[in-house]
Amino acid sequence: MADKLRTLQNLEALQARYIGTGHADTTKYEWTSNIIRDSCASYVGHNPLLSYMSVGMGDSKEKVRTMMLEKMVRGAGNPPETQE
């Protein structure tokens, strides 16, 4: 029992620390939002990837960077209506 509790506590700690750590009730919306935000953060963080995209789009790197961060704000769009 104690083990189970500890596992649960560990999981909660992980979830608090690392956004995107899943749980049993992760919804599709949460999951896709996470994927999008993780991807965009990775594009911003990996400089070659950012310049690769900026050359493809014909925009400057800073503009592509801002665009990616804006995409992170948006995530997967509006959340679904919750049925109560």
Partner 1 sequence: MATTSHMFMYSLTIQPPTAVTQAVLGQFAGTKEQQVITASGSKLTIHRPDPTLGKITPIFSQDVFGIIRSLAVFRLAGSNKDYLIIGSDSGRITIVEYVPSQNRFNRIHLETFGKSGVRRVVPGQYLAVDPKGRACLIASVEKNKLVYVLNRNSQAELTISSPLEAHKPQTLVFAMTALDVGYENPVFAALEVDYSEADQDPTGQAYEEIEKILVYYELDLGLNHVVRKWSDPVDRTANMLFQVPGGADGPSGVLVCAEDNITYRHSNQDAFRVPIPRRSGPTENPERKRTIVSGVMHKMRGAFFFLLQTEDGDIFKVMLDMAEDENGQLTGEVQGLKIKFFDTVPVASSLLILKSGFLYVASEAGNHQFYEFEKLGDDDEEVEFSSDSFPADPTAPYEPVFFRPRPAENLNLVESVNSLNPLIDSKIVNLTEDDAPQIYSVCGTGARSTFRTLKHGLEVSELVESELQAVPSAVWTTKLTRSDEYDRYIVLSFTNGTIVLSIGEIVEEITEDSGFLSTAPTLAVQQLGEDSLIQVHPRGIRHLLADHRVNEWPAPQHRSIVAAAANERQVAVALSSGEIVYFEMDADGSLAEYDDRRQMSGTVTCLSLGEVPEGRVRSSFLAVGCDDSTVRILSLDTKNMLENMSVQALTSAPSALNIMAMADSSSGGTTLYLHIGLYSGVYLRTVLDEVTGELSDTRTRFLGAKPVKLSQVSVQGQTAVLALSSRSWLGYSDIQTKSFMLTPLDYAGLEWGWNFSSEQCLEGMVGIQGRNLRIFSIEKLNNNMLQSSIPLAYTPRRFVKHPEQPLFYIIESDNNVLSPATRESLIRDSQVQNGDALSLSPAEFGYPRGTGHWASCIQVVDPINSNEVVFTLDLDDNEAAVSVAVVPFSSQDDESFLVVGTAKDLEVSPPKSKGGFIHIYRFQENGHELEFIHKTKVDDPPLALLAFQGKLLAGIGPILRLYDLGVRQLLRKSQAPVVPSTIVGLQTQGSRIVVSDVRESVTYVVYKHQENVLIPFVDDSISRWTTSTTMVDYETVAGGDKFGNLWLLRCPNKVSEEADEDGSGAHLVHERGYLQGTPNRLELMVHYYTQDIPTSLHKTQLVAGGRDIVVWTGFQGTIGMFVPFASREDVDFFQSLETQLAAQHPPLAGRDHLIYRGYYAPSKGVIDGDLCEMYFLLPNNTKMTIAAELDRSVREIERKISDMRTRVAY
The correct pick among 24, 28, 48, 83 for binding partner 1 (CB under 8 A) is: 48
Closer CB to partner 1, residue 9 or residue 51?
51
Say how many residues make up the chain: 84
Q: Which residues contact 46 (CB under 8 A, 6 or more apart)?
A: none
Instruction: Determine the size of the site formed for partner 1 (CB under 8 A).
Output: 41
Site for partner 1 contains 18 (CB under 8 A): yes
Amino acid at residue number 78: N
The correct pick among 1, 3, 24, 82 for binding partner 1 (CB under 8 A) is: 82
CA-to-CA dists, residue 40 to 24, 52, 53, 78, 83, angstroms = 25, 14, 12, 18, 30
Judged by the rule CB under 8 A, the positions of this chain that interact with partner 1 are 17-20, 33, 37-38, 41-42, 44-49, 51-63, 65-66, 69, 72-75, 77-82
